[in-house]
Each structure stands twice: as structure tokens, then as C-alpha cells.
Amino acid sequence: MKVALLAEQAAGERRVAATPETVKKLIGLGAEVAVETGAGTAASIDDAAYAAAGATIGGRAQILADADIVLGVAAPAPESLSGAKRGAWLLGSLNPFGDRARIEGYAALGLEALAMEWMPRITRAQSMDILSSQANLAGYKAVLDAASEYGRAFPMMMTAAGTISAARVFVMGVGVAGLQAIATARRLGAQVSATDVRSATREQILSLGAKPIFVEKVAGIEGEGAGGYAGEMSAEYQAAQAELVSAHIAKQDIVITTALIPGRPAPRLISDAQIASMRPGSVIVDLAVEQGGNVEGSVAGEVVQRHGVNIVGHRNVASRLAADASALFARNLYNFLAAYWDKDAGRPVLPADDEVTQAIRLTQDGQVTNTRLTA
């Protein structure tokens, strides 16, 4: 049973899909692990560390030869996988909706593509959930990015020369990234408030010492979508939310937006007029910028200024904490493989009727099979 670890080729991708820790664990299961030369360099892991963990090191063609499982972070180009044997598993963040042609390419190669970002949000799959592990780090990094752009201190400071007021931070979207952003901003001493379309998040906001900002008296709109994700709101709710948020944003120093709806463009949360209401020097961090953005005027990969407000639109934020992000991503993949490892077969086996299998398997036997892509 051979597992191949790819070096990432996507621009700006610094993470790696296995670490020496998980290589040792995979070998412990009975696998042979082959690592592409330089795979971990950007995540501060050298080839010697992989070799010490028991892996062999080689070029892409060498590691792909006879590999049963191929591990990557960002979806590799199908042409870069020539030589992989038919039936091999490809695990990673494969962006099924965003790049359908690439998924078709995996099918044409006979690969069994497994999109780890489509892992269902069920209790037994929590340790395999790459979206949660990476969003946690993105939420943390978003606050640090905001602090680096903000020309003032976060905590209240009482000095002989006078008092500095605490920064006011508003987090929009209280999923994994939003919760970590709240916690990090609080640790830095900011005065934090947060909002979400899901009323169930109110208690989570309060538990972190932040102030919940919610639309009241709009009956029957809870905003809970499938799998614990946010859903789309009615026009009535959207109007009430916009009015509430406009009044609140004008008083904030920093706003962090994290709202995403799977398979759809990111919802627009902040308009140009709302940006104009903020005081010069304020900062907005748009964590959804790569999916179209929560903020009008945000630009993927850039920090831009509108009405004197800095709008931060870094791509692939988790990758900017490459070492920790890789460690968590690698454990997610190992936890998945270990959970389905069949000792008798000497390899992982995915039952066809399993909820996880049905959620993440995109291609099999030369065909695109996932119902979310074929419906």
C-alpha cells in the first residue's frame, strides 16, 4: 500500500498534506510513504525530516508510480498526475464547484477523487474536517492582519499621558473562523461584537465575552442551512439586517467578515455606503474574498483603500500560517484514512453506503459520480 505526498504547485500555496508526524502514523498502519522532493519546504519541513520518519524521497513521476493514495492540499492539475495508476485515491481540497473541468480530468485518469472539504459535519467526521481546522487558523490570522493594518493599539491603555480607548471589532459570521476571530480579538484587548444569521450562535458569542448583534422580531428566519452552515435569508430579513448593521458598522474600528454559503458566491454583507460611514483608518478583513467577497470593493490578493478604510483581501489565509495549517490538515487526512483502514485488506476501504463516502467521493471508474455534480 503506497501513499504519495505531492509538492504543491498552486501559486501561493505553502501548506503540505502530510508531516513527519503523520508519515510515521501511516507507516504504522502498514503503508509505504513516498514524498516528492521539496514537498514540505514552504511549511518549514525539509526532506531529511520526512526521510527520518521513514519516507522515501523522489521526483513526482517516481513517487506517483504504483501509488494507491495521493495526498495534496490544493487540487493538482490532472496533467501533473500522468503516470498515476487507475483506481488510485486522490485526497485534498479539490474545489469541485469552482473547477469542474479539473474534476473531469481526474475521472479521465481513472482516479477516485475525494474532496475533503465536502466532509459532512457529523460527530464522527469532526477530526477529518479540513474546513474547520483551516478556518480556525484563518480566523486567528484575520485579527492579526487587521492589527497590522490598524494604526492604533487594540487594548485600552491608561498612561500618564492619558487613556487610549480599546479598538472596537465587529465580526460578521460566527462559524469556526468567526469564533476564533472573536476569541483572538478579545485576547488582544478589543471591545468585540458579532452577528450571524443563525440565532443559535448568540450563546456562543456571549460565551466568548462578546456582544451579540441580532435582528429581532423577524419571525421564522433562523438562517440554518444544511449541515450546520448558514443558509440564504429572505428579503425581509436581509433588509432588517442591513439596517441594523449599517448603524453598528459606522461605530466600528475593525470589521472581519467570514460568511460563506457552500456552492454559491459569498453573500454581500458590506456596501460601499457602509464603508464610507466608517472613520478613516478603520480596517475591514474579508475572509470570503476568494468566493466573490462579503465586502463591496474587496480585491482578492490585495489590500485596497476605499473612503480612507483599508480593506484586506488576502488569499488562502490559512496558508500564511503554513506550519500549523499543514500539521492540522495532515492530521485531518490521516484521521480519515485511519478511520477507514481495513487491517485484513491492508488499506482503507470506503463502504458505498457510508455517509462520508457519498459526500466526498467525486469520481470513480472513470466517471463523475457525486450527485452534487451530476444533478
Catalytic entry in 132, 180, 282, 291:
132
Catalytic entry in 62, 186, 199, 229:
229
Task: Respond yes or no: is residue 132 known to be catalytic.
Answer: yes
Task: Respond yes or no: is residue 126 known to be catalytic.
Answer: yes
Task: Respond yes or no: is residue 187 known to be catalytic.
Answer: no
Task: Respond yes or no: is residue 14 known to be catalytic.
Answer: no
Catalytic entry in 14, 15, 93, 129:
129
Catalytic entry in 47, 102, 121, 127:
121
Place of cell 458505498: 352
Task: Respond yes or no: is residue 364 known to be catalytic.
Answer: no
Q: 166, 191 in Cβ contact below 8 A? A: yes
Q: 209, 179 in Cβ contact below 8 A? A: no
- In the chain, the amino acid numbered 25 is K
Catalytic entry in 44, 82, 126, 305:
126
Residues carrying an active site annotation: 121, 126, 129, 132, 229
